[in-house]
Structure 1
Amino acid sequence: MTLHKRVAAWMNPSAWALEPEPSTFAPTDGRGGSRWSNKDMDPVPPQKVKAPIQALPAIALGHVIIATVMVLNGTVGARLHVSFPVLNRSSFGFYCSYFSVISRMVLSMFWLGIQAYTGSQCVYQVPILKLLMPLMFVSPQKIRWFFLFKAVIVPPAWFAILIWAFVKVPASKGLFVQHSKLSGSAFSYAWLSGLNSALGIYSTLAVNIPDFTRYAKNERAQYVQLLVIPAAFTLVGFIGIAVTSAGVVLYGSVLWNPLTLIDHWENRPAAFFAAFTFALATLGTNISANTLSAANDLTVLFPKYINIRRGQVISAIVGPWAFVPWEIVTGAQGFLAFMNGYTVFLGPFAGVMVADNWRAVVTMLVAVPPNMPGLISSVNPSVRVGGAVKVFDFAWLFGFFVSLTVYSFLSLVFPAEETFVEEAIIDGSEEVFDDDNASQDTKRSQDKEIVVA
């Protein structure tokens, strides 16, 4: 097979660079303005911290770190207007990149199923997939209206829940009277675990943020995330802490899941509207963070057959049905713990991308194994791994900084000179791609002219 045919076989219009100003994706020029409330039930403090208010600094610092990583990785996507699977090839090489792409795809489908199951519990007899499917047929460039609607509805509802918590239980009786019983190294590791939990909320997006920043009008448009993510998620974390603390006083148990808390309400209209906002937030998460991410991966894995829209439909079938999320949530806690612990891989992925291939393979072999004993112990607590579990408490931080250091060092000492080219391999007069025409363009891409230096 000629080079022309080999390259053409891996070209998919969904992965082509977008035009310089393609975005009607979000209310702002970038992702930050519409993204902050999408993670719905995730921003709760870790249960290991006995005084919930002490988790707030960990939440704030975690989101400062993750926002910085997201902007660093997102800049390339905003500059070149290409997705994560394409950019990832520059860091891991063509074939090694499939490991991170497939890993991210499986994670997206898995959490799509979990979020769909959670969303279906919000409002009785409202199948979340019936609401999700029509939205998946809207082009990513034209989904702005949904996020505008969500941004208007969700934040006021959450502030209303916060006001309810303070009216029912004043802070002087709930939030600020629960003191930590930990001290010394035990408190330090618990705090690091809380920091790792905060990092874990966005650990996937820190890797695949180019999927979204590719729709930005320019590089500067995505810088708003540096302010929006730490400020907004620290606020959301505070709401979670305050409401949960009120629940301890009112109901005598720690109710980290807001739906469980809402189940205790006797005011049915209030319960409906609160649960509806969580269903709406879950819907936003599944559209942006799960179906679109998995679809981008599928377009690169199967470029001849799948475009963004087909990929979203496939992920909506596999995630909520093939992964049987109702069984996982109710009975497969070990598997759920494994998926939660997948940050041991996501941290190194993000570190390698920021540093930007055998260098990537060596980096993964250095950064991942120290966290594996802790991951095994989290899946099966009967396995004793001694002090190694402490490293797992800050798995993302460890993996990110180790991989960032090792990959940068290897690239400096052993530069990838074989990747240097004197001119572009692909002709610069590319077509502008609109996903609405992806089906027709996929076939046409096979005949696209390739110019070899």
Structure 2
Amino acid sequence: MSLADRAEATGVPAFVPDPRLTNEDLAPAAERKWKVFDLFAMWMSDVHNLGNYTFAAGLLVLGMNVWQIFTSLLVGFVLIYLGMNMMGRIGQRHGVPFPVVSRISFGVWGANIPALIRAVIAIMWYGIQTYLASVAVNVMLLAAWPGLTSWTHHSFLGLNALGWTSFVALWLIQALIISRGMESVRKFQDFCGPAIWLVMIALAVWILAKADWSISLTSTPHPVSVGEQWRQWFGAVGLILATYGTLMLNFCDFSRFAPGYTTVKRGNFWGLPVNSTAFVIVSVIVTAGSIKVFGEAITDPAMLVAKIGNTWVLVLAAFTFAVATMGVNIVANFVSPAYDLANVWPQKISFKVGGMISTVAALVVTPWNLFSNPTVVNYFLGGLGAFLGPLFGVIMLDYYWVKRGRIDVDQLFSAEPGSRYYYRKGINPKALWAFLPSAAVAAVLALVKDFSAVAPYSWFIGTALSAALYLVLCRSERTAAAVAPGAAVVEG
């Protein structure tokens, strides 16, 4: 139901949204079709990827055992579950995407600041993840047709002919899926989310059989001191929070399509503490099994599949990993910039147009060159990533503590001076005063080598610092807060 239709149905004089702030995609969701399984499958798509597998397996190599990895990441996923529920509640109750949610705290024009920060990060990673998926496709193609090796002898803009073929093919497939809108995204996640489990379970059964069904859950290939194990334990919790801080910020983009908050909580529960921890455990068990069978920790599942020695098994596994990577790419790196760019110019840019701009930008930046440049990945994307925690801190504290969940949705689409979210020239200076110094501190902790010991906690520190600063700045505002006409109040 549109804003105007909702007003007509309730008998309230019709509110006319400012065309500079709204279009069909930014307005409250008209349809709520995402059920528990859809959200569960979305989390499977986001979690089941090569990066998370390698991250969990790498902890074993660093000196943690299977039980320590299990407990640390379980704690991390429970914290992520709570954070996703907080953002998910906002999206589900009000039906609006992240850029519109950002207007509550940053102002109707200031919301472009968090939206564009999130968009730039997502576009860069969208290209990089597409490239990583194309690498898996290359493995598949070369295994099935060795004659394609000749396609790898010459390169253009840093990528050989086979690489270009695989990358462009995946780029087009993803563009086709997302050009059909969020309903198409939902259906794709329902398919690719469970797909990787088939390969992972088969891989686990194979490696356990090779290991005579006996592996150690308490040993590690590189034993370290008890103190170092504890440092790594807390570091793993911090790093997993930072990894999912990107999607935690804009999870309302998905929860807005859920029919009720219970649906959001159940989908998150099965997708995060349950499924995500299970995936981590299978990844670590497979890696531990590789130590016993091959005498070394193989942290890349594609390399482990290659040990099987069957070409078509390798082809099937590579295809599945490519599909899984496309799944996480669409969830974590496409939906957000599509909405974020639509928010910049709603009259001209829809969700689909924003998505097409994102895909083109992800191609133009030649992501394979970005990925091979540690300076770009670590300092540019890592620095921007450190800003996400402070944004989350401001938005959450503003909604739950300052505004107490009392939001006038109509006013989110009004740019009239004096309107509720206009603040000062459309920007909330208090949000900026809390965000900017917190982002600077988080970036320094994440990037400066002297602070490497606390770098895994930069997201958490940035979130806490921005929330604390915003609390101090808004104490008087909270005291004076009152329910606005037509506002929605969070219960409980």
Within the candidate set 293, 300, 307, 2:336 is matched to 293
The reply to whether residue 402 of structure 1 matches residue 483 of structure 2 is no
The answer to whether the Cα contact below 8 Å between 1:62 and 1:198 also exists between their aligned partners in 2 is yes
Mean CA deviation greater in 345-354 or 143-152: 143-152
The reply to whether residue 274 of structure 1 matches residue 288 of structure 2 is no
Shift of 1:205: 1.0
The reply to whether residue 71 of structure 1 matches residue 114 of structure 2 is no
SS of equivalent residue, structure 2 residue 137: coil
Structure 1 gap segments, 5+ residues each: 378-383, 426-453
Structure-1 separation of matches of 2:317 and 2:224: 34
The reply to whether residue 41 of structure 1 matches residue 41 of structure 2 is no
Report what 1:329 is aligned to.
Answer: 371
The reply to whether residue 374 of structure 1 matches residue 383 of structure 2 is no
Report what 2:173 is aligned to.
Answer: 131
Superposition pairs of residues 101-116 of structure 1, within 5 angstroms = 101-116=115-130
SS of equivalent residue, structure 2 residue 136: coil
Mean CA deviation greater in 361-370 or 228-237: 361-370
Report what 1:156 is aligned to.
Answer: 198
The answer to whether the Cα contact below 8 Å between 2:105 and 2:431 also exists between their aligned partners in 1 is yes
Distance 1:261 1:79, change over 3 A: same
Give the partner amino acid of 2:51. D
Within the candidate set 105, 108, 115, 1:91 is matched to 105
Structure-2 separation of matches of 1:81 and 1:293: 15
Superposition pairs of residues 332-411 of structure 1, within 5 angstroms = 332-338=373-379, 339-340=381-382, 342-356=384-398, 357-377=428-448, 384-385=449-450, 388-411=451-474
SS of equivalent residue, structure 1 residue 13: coil
The answer to whether the Cα contact below 8 Å between 1:196 and 1:393 also exists between their aligned partners in 2 is yes
For residues 4-25 of structure 1, give each alpha carbon's deviation from its aligned partner in whole angstroms, at most 9, with x where no partner exists.
9993223222101112xx1334
Structure-2 separation of matches of 1:347 and 1:113: 23
Distance 1:414 1:317, change over 3 A: same
Report what 2:209 is aligned to.
Answer: 167
Structure-2 separation of matches of 1:243 and 1:64: 23
Distance 1:415 1:194, change over 3 A: same
Report what 1:59 is aligned to.
Answer: 73
Identity across the alignment (%): 24
Structure-1 separation of matches of 2:211 and 2:112: 51
Shift of 1:179: 6.1
Shift of 1:421: 8.4
Aligned-pair Cα RMSD in Å: 2.8
The answer to whether the Cα contact below 8 Å between 2:200 and 2:282 also exists between their aligned partners in 1 is yes
The answer to whether the Cα contact below 8 Å between 1:27 and 1:34 also exists between their aligned partners in 2 is no
Distance 1:216 1:161, change over 3 A: same
Shift of 1:390: 2.2
Shift of 1:87: 0.4
Structure-2 separation of matches of 1:65 and 1:107: 23
TM-score, length of structure 1 as denominator length:
0.81
Structure-1 separation of matches of 2:465 and 2:455: 14
Structure-1 separation of matches of 2:392 and 2:103: 13
Structure 2 gap segments, 5+ residues each: 1-14, 142-165, 399-427, 488-492
Structure-2 separation of matches of 1:133 and 1:37: 17
The reply to whether residue 14 of structure 1 matches residue 28 of structure 2 is no
The answer to whether the Cα contact below 8 Å between 1:25 and 1:142 also exists between their aligned partners in 2 is no
Shift of 1:278: 1.3
Structure-2 separation of matches of 1:25 and 1:219: 11
Structure-2 separation of matches of 1:167 and 1:231: 25
Give the partner amino acid of 2:435. M
Structure-2 separation of matches of 1:221 and 1:349: 26
Distance 1:354 1:305, change over 3 A: same
SS of equivalent residue, structure 2 residue 386: helix
Structure-1 separation of matches of 2:242 and 2:182: 25
For residues 109-139 of structure 1, give each alpha carbon's deviation from its aligned partner in whole angstroms, at most 9, with x where no partner exists.
1111111011112223543123212211222
Shift of 1:145: 3.0
